[in-house]
Structure formats: structure tokens, C-alpha cells
Amino acid sequence: MPESAWGKGPPGEGMEYMSDIINGKTVSVFTGLDTEEVEAVVRCSVLEKFESGEVVIEESKVSSDLYILLKGRASVEIEVVGYNERRKERLVILRKGDAFGEVAFLKGKRRSAFVVAYDPIQVLRLDRDKMYELFESRSRIGYVMMKNLAAVLAQRLRDTNFRWRRESND
């Protein structure tokens, strides 16, 4: 559930993460952006909190915002349907600084997986429409962030390929 808009709510709420975010220390999608550019991105976002076990993103739902995990861990899961069974399979555990929701952010389509808070978490939710407006007006921000998202997707594809190879050899 949304806790507060960034910069609103109790004084200093979420600000303990701002230094790391601005310096790109923990958020790879911000690597290469300067302080003012990161602040422009943060203005297009909302700080949200979720309790352990709470669903952040629901598979197959239409939504398109990008999330940055600021605190805690989250589990990425898919629903596997078999003959007389339906279960969730964990794909990965996300950690501080990881981005998620990038496929729907790029394509504006249905979500491809569930994301569930593994621990109590705080996320920065970047509004897709506001971000795309920012990218139109500030093309360098758009270029850098899209390049960084491409690197995230490439690494996740590589990890998936290696995982499938290991599983097929077992």
C-alpha cells in the first residue's frame, strides 16, 4: 500500500535512502545520472511500504510502473499450472537496489510474474507515464535509464539461461 508521496508524510521519511539513491550506490538503473537528474526521476515516484507476504505486483495484471527496492527483500514468482495442480515457483530473491517491473514498464503490457515482499520492504514506484514524459523532455535521462534497464534485462536473461542449463543437466 502506498505509504506517502516522496517528500510528504513525516519529516525525513524515506530520506535515509536519498543519499545512496542520488549517488547511484545501490540503484544500478541510476548509474550515470547526476544528482539533479536522479532528483528529477525521484519527483516522478512514490515511496511505498509492504509487509512480509504482501503482493507488490500480481502476475497477469495490467500495470506498468517500475519499482526500485530500497529496503528488504522481495521474491519473484510465477504461477505454474500442471495437470490437477497449480503452484507458485520462486525465480529469484531481489535485494536492495534491484529494479523490478521493467518488462511491463517497457512494453506497457500485463505483468509476467508475481513480486511478493519476502521481508517488510520499502520501494520507490516510478510512474511510467510521468517517466516517459520526463524522457521526452530530458532525453539524456531516458537514454541512461533505458541503457541501464537493458543491462539489467541482459543479466537476467543470462542468469535464466545458466539456470535452465543446470536444471537440464540434473
What is the predicted pLDDT for the residue at 22? 54
Task: Tell me: pLDDT of 21 over 80.
Answer: no
For residues 160 and 14, which has the higher predicted lDDT (pLDDT)? 160
Q: Do the domain assignments include residue 74? A: yes
What is the predicted pLDDT for the residue at 44? 92
pLDDT single digits (tens) 68-108:
999 999 999 888 887 888 888 888 899 998 999 888 788 87
Task: Tell me: pLDDT of 58 over 90.
Answer: no
Average pLDDT value over all residues in the chain? 82
Three cell numbers written together for 75: 521474491
Sheet holding 74-82, edge to edge: 55-57, 114-117, 74-82, 85-94
Give how many domains the chain has, as a whole number: 1
What is the predicted pLDDT for the residue at 164? 67
The SS3 of residue 103 is: helix
**26-49: average pLDDT:** 90
Beta bridge mates, 48: 2, 123
Looking up cell 543437466 gives 169
Instruction: Report the C-alpha gap between 42 and 134 in whole angstroms.
Output: 11
Q: What is this structure's pTM?
A: 0.80
Task: Tell me: pLDDT of 14 over 70.
Answer: no
Instruction: Report the C-alpha gap between 4 and 102 in whole angstroms.
Output: 22
**Interacting residues of 140 by C-beta distance below 8 A, sequence separation 6+:** 37
What is the predicted pLDDT for the residue at 15? 52
Q: From the centroid of its chain, how far is CA 3?
A: 17
What is the predicted pLDDT for the residue at 79? 82
What is the predicted pLDDT for the residue at 119? 95
The SS3 of residue 28 is: helix
DSSP 113: S
What is the predicted pLDDT for the residue at 24? 54
Q: Which domain holds residue 53?
A: 2-162
Q: Do the domain assignments include residue 51? A: yes
Sequence-ordered alpha helix ranges (H) in the chain: 18-22, 35-42, 102-107, 128-137, 139-169
What is the predicted pLDDT for the residue at 91? 85
Q: Do the domain assignments include residue 169? A: no
Contact 116, 52 (CB under 8 A): no
Q: Do the domain assignments include residue 84? A: yes
* CATH code of the domain containing 129: 2.60.120.10
Q: Do the domain assignments include residue 45? A: yes
Highest mean pLDDT among 13-17, 42-46, 50-54: 50-54
What is the predicted pLDDT for the residue at 170? 66
Q: Do the domain assignments include residue 56? A: yes
Q: Do the domain assignments include residue 68? A: yes
What is the predicted pLDDT for the residue at 165? 67
Q: Do the domain assignments include residue 168? A: no
**End-to-end distance of the chain based on CA atoms, in angstroms?**
41
